[in-house]
Chain A
Amino acid sequence: MSTLEADVGGLAPAWTGAHRWKRIRHFVGSHPLFVIGLTVFLVIVVAALAAPWIATHDPLAIKFSEKLQAPSAEHYLGTDSMGRDIFSRVLYGARTSLMVGVVVVGLAIGIGLPMGLLAAYFGGRIDTTMMRIADVFLAFPPLLLPIAITAAIGAGLFHAMVALAISWFPWYARIMRSSVLRVKSELYVSAARAMGVNHTNVMIRHAVPNALTPVVVQGSLDFGYVILAAASLSFIGIGAQPPDIEWGLMAAAERAKFLDFPWTVLCPGLAIFVTVLAVNLVGDGIRDLLDPKHQEFK
């Protein structure tokens, strides 16, 4: 037999397309919490998108004649102190929260990822500069930095999101940096350099795709924390401002009446709780799916 014909035979059956699909199916079967989290999360997403059609009332319509009503057939979750329908407001509030999650995590990754990439790839002075900048932001206690920033640039939902992104990006810069450092020592990076591929292409084609997994995992886990943090900022009055519809703000506005009219605070509070829990379950699942080390054996 000629040398050339040898050793090109069968592939391990585990890696054919059918198996990949089976692998995903099996993963879903063996991670019930992930499935529950994902289902809840998808329901929330659909509810947020379809809010105008599902909502029974105008979330902004003030009707003092119907204020502070208990849950009923007319108002599924009751009304608040201005007579607004809480069910409709919770639905619209989902839009705000999901948007906050996407924008803040997106912004944080958008700033942190290139910083970490450049720092790790070029090293030396660039590395030191980038990472010291990141360290400065990391030196503040978690929620204090966004509070300080919003205090400086003014309250409001958009400002709160920017503030959260600024306090969050150093984590992504650090994760990306350590991930790229690992990839940089792989031979395929040297191989690409040896055949004359320029730095930009090495970074885009080789470094980023292989370094992205931990960033994606962290992003999916952070999504829930960001929603929670934004709600907290709104709750203390420096996040969303009326007439924004935001769960933290809803809870804050009614907090004095909590003991007498518990649904006014409980409903938005539960909405935050359920969303964050669902998102975290999905995040854990994504981590297990992308990181083979976490895969459980039966």
Chain B
Amino acid sequence: MSEEVLAIRDLRIEFPELFRTVEAVRGADLSVRRGEIMGLVGESGCGKSMTAMACLGLVPPPGRVSGHVSVDGFEVVGRPDRELLPVRGGLAAMIFQNPGKALNPFFTIGRQLTDVIRLHHRHGERESREVALEALRSVHLPDPEIALGRYPHQLSGGQLQRAMIAMALACEPKVLIADEPTTALDVTIQAQVIVLLRELADARGLTILFITHDLGVVGSLCDRVSVMYAGRVVEVGSVRDVLESPAHPYTRKLLATVPKLGDGHSELAFIPGQVPDMAFPPSGCAFHPRCERASPVCTKSDPDGRDLGAMHRVACHHAHGGGETEAPGTANGAPAR
């Protein structure tokens, strides 16, 4: 087993509001090893983006963070901003959903790239320009010399996301945290970004934490996947284990709801009920109000994670075991295909 580059232990993030406290993340554990692409999936409001922000110490005020996040051995939680400089853009870099909004429209791509490089390294102007060019080449941006002089609005969405990735990788981070970087892109561009990230992980040993709600992207890109629900990781395992034999009832339902190409006009399965209000999370297992396997114990105690096999863990009192032959799609009334 290779070393752990990103380790999150019992992460808790709370947002005190006027009369209530929203518990965005409630004891999440996550571990990403070197050169691995870890997918973090869940529905909106499950805490996946906040988990990503916490990796760089970017949880916005008034959020309160506790627990441990270590990036390549560097503890992030509880550090003031000035001590986090080596992490932000150095050890870890982040790319966002909307590349157009993450770049400053008033400066050229080259200027913004070299600024980032010079923030972390003592490079001269020419040297940092060389590094910037190399970064743009590594993400296969066409005509990198010309692109350096371009302003963000002169590039297309796909080119912008490539430029963002180049900027993130310019300082050779250990971990790339990608928060829904393909959600705002068209499918053809999304496919380009997926292939690019795969290549970067394979060629450079880059570690990626990839946050998404799209299970198709997970299936096509990730090595392992963590499924988040109501601020906790409820299942983690290799992409094959989790997507092909999901053990947590939530993962099963989530998989069944995804319309897949080739399914035709079949009636779609759905998850009854709603995502819980995180100011008042349900007692016990947060999924029990929507779970058909729920029993009295589920309303009382929040299940701990348990191992199902090599690296496949699930937090459920009544997890679907390996012995069952039930296909994922038929578990919740969806017609068998």
Bound Cα distance A298, B277 (Å): 20
Give A32 Cβ to nearest chain B Cβ, in Å: 16
A126 vs B225: C-alpha distance when bound (angstroms):
56
B305 → chain A closest CB, angstroms: 28
Interface residues of A in 1-57 (CB under 8 A from B): 1, 3, 6-7, 9-10, 12-14, 19, 22-23, 26-27, 30
Q: Which of B176-190 contact A (CB under 8 A)?
A: none
Query: A28 CB to closest chain B CB, in angstroms?
Result: 12
B272 touches A23 (CB 8 A): no
In the complex, are the beta carbons of B273 and A9 less than 8 A apart?
yes
A241 interface contact, C-beta 8 A: no
In contact, A12 and B62 (Cβ under 8 angstroms): no
The answer, yes or no, to whether B270 is at the interface (CB within 8 Å) is yes
**Contact present for B274 and A14 (CB under 8 Å):** no
A27 to chain B: closest residue by CB: B18
A201 at the interface (CB under 8 A from B): no
Residues B20 and A7 in contact, CB atoms below 8 Å apart? no
* B280 sits at the interface (CB 8 A): yes
Verify B273–A14 contact, CB threshold 8 A. Answer: no
A295 sits at the interface (CB 8 A): yes
**Residue of chain B at shortest CB distance from A8:** B274
Query: Are A6 and B272 closer than 8 Å at their CB atoms?
Result: yes
| B277 nearest in chain A by CB position | A12
Range, interface on chain A: 10 to 19
Residues of A within 8 Å of B280, CB to CB, are 13
In the complex, which of the residues B16, B61, B272, B273 contacts A298, with contact meaning CB atoms closer than 8 Å? B16
Please report which residues of chain A, range 188-234, place their CB below 8 angstroms from some CB of chain B when the two chains form the complex.
Answer: none
Contact of A19 among B16, B19, B272 (CB under 8 A): B19
Cβ–Cβ < 8 Å partners of B270 in chain A: 3, 6
Whether B279 is near chain A, meaning CB under 8 Å from some CB there, is yes
- Cα distance A26–B16 in the bound complex, in angstroms: 14
CB-based contact B279/A14 at 8 Å: yes
One of A1, A3, A7, A22 near B19 (C-beta < 8 A): A22
Does residue B143 face the partner (Cβ distance < 8 Å to A)? no
Chain B residues within 8 Å of A26, by CB: 18-19
B83 at the interface (CB under 8 A from A): no
B62 & A297 in contact (Cβ 8 Å cutoff) = yes
Option from B15, B19, B274, B279 in Cβ contact (under 8 Å) with A23: B19
Q: Are B16 and A7 in contact (CB under 8 A)?
A: no
B279 to chain A, nearest CB (A): 7
Q: How large is the interface on B (under 10, 10 to 19, 20 to 34, 35 or more residues)?
A: 10 to 19
Provide the residues of chain B in CB contact with A298, threshold 8 Å.
16, 18
**Nearest neighbor of B279 in chain A, beta-carbon distance:** A14
* A1 and B272 within 8 A (CB): yes
B17 at the interface (CB under 8 A from A): yes
Inter-chain CA distance A284–B16, complex, in Å, is 23
- Chain B interface, DSSP helix/strand/loop, else mixed: loop
* Chain A residues, CB < 8 A from B15: 297
Residues of A within 8 A of B274 (CB): 7, 9-10
Q: Nearest chain B CB to A14's CB is how many angstroms away?
A: 7
With A and B bound together, what is the CA distance between A19 and B16 in angstroms?
16
Q: How far, in angstroms, from A6 to B267 measured CA to CA in the complex?
A: 15
Q: Which residues on the B side are within 8 Å of A12 (C-beta)?
A: 277, 279
Asked if B272 and A14 sit within 8 Å, CB to CB, the answer is: no
A157 to B273, CA, bound (A): 64
Q: Which of B185-229 contact A (CB under 8 A)?
A: none
B279 contacts across to A, CB distance below 8 A: 12-14
Cα A297 to Cα B272 in complex, Å, equals 34
Cα of A30 to Cα of B16 in the assembled complex, Å: 14
Question: How many Å lie between the Cα of A23 and that of B277 in the bound state?
Answer: 18
Q: Is the CB of A297 within 8 A of B17?
A: yes
Residues of A within 8 A of B272 (CB): 1, 6-7
**A289 CA to B17 CA in the complex, in Å?**
14
How far is it, in angstroms, between the C-alpha of A141 and the C-alpha of B102 when the chains are bound? 39
Q: How far is the CB of A13 from chain B (nearest CB, A)?
A: 6
Task: Type the 1/0 row for B18-39, where 1 means its CB is closer than 8 Å to any CB of A.
Answer: 1110000000000000000000
Q: What residue of chain B has the Cβ atom nearest to residue A12's Cβ? A: B277
Instruction: Tell whether, in the assembled complex, residue B62 and residue A7 are in contact, meaning their CB atoms are under 8 Å apart.
Output: no
Q: Which residue of B lies closest to A292 (CB)?
A: B18
Given A6-B270, A9-B274, A14-B279, CB of A297 within 8 Å of CB of B16: yes
A209 to B272 alpha-carbon distance, docked (Å): 35
Question: Whole-angstrom distance from the CB of B299 to the nearest CB of chain A?
Answer: 16
Min CB gap B242→A, angstroms: 25
Give CA–CA (A30, B61) in the complex, Å: 18
Distance between A25 CB and nearest chain B CB, rounded to angstroms: 9
Q: How far apart are the CA atoms of A163 and B19 in the complex, in Å? A: 46
Find the residue from B19, B270, B280 having the highest chain A CB count within 10 A. B19
The contact string, 1 if C-beta is below 8 Å from chain A, for chain B 23-67, is: 000000000000000000000000000000000000001100000
B19: chain A residues within 8 A (beta carbon): 14, 19, 22-23, 26
Task: List chain B residues, Cβ under 8 A from A3.
Answer: 270
- In order of increasing CB-CB distance, the 3 nearest A-B pairs are A297-B62, A12-B277, A6-B272
User: Can you name 16 extra interface pairs (CB under 8 A) apart from A1-B272, A14-B19, A295-B18?
Assistant: A6-B270, A6-B273, A7-B272, A7-B274, A9-B274, A12-B279, A13-B280, A14-B277, A22-B19, A27-B18, A30-B18, A297-B15, A297-B16, A297-B62, A298-B16, A298-B18
Interface CB pairs A-B, < 8 A, 27: A1-B272, A3-B270, A6-B270, A6-B272, A6-B273, A7-B272, A7-B274, A9-B273, A9-B274, A10-B274, A12-B277, A12-B279, A13-B280, A14-B20, A14-B277, A14-B279, A19-B19, A22-B19, A23-B18, A23-B19, A26-B19, A297-B15, A297-B17, A297-B18, A297-B61, A297-B62, A298-B16
Interfacial residues, chain B to chain A (CB-CB below 8 A): 15-20, 61-62, 270, 272-274, 277, 279-280
The residues of A with any CB-CB pair to B shorter than 8 Å are: 1, 3, 6-7, 9-10, 12-14, 19, 22-23, 26-27, 30, 295, 297-298
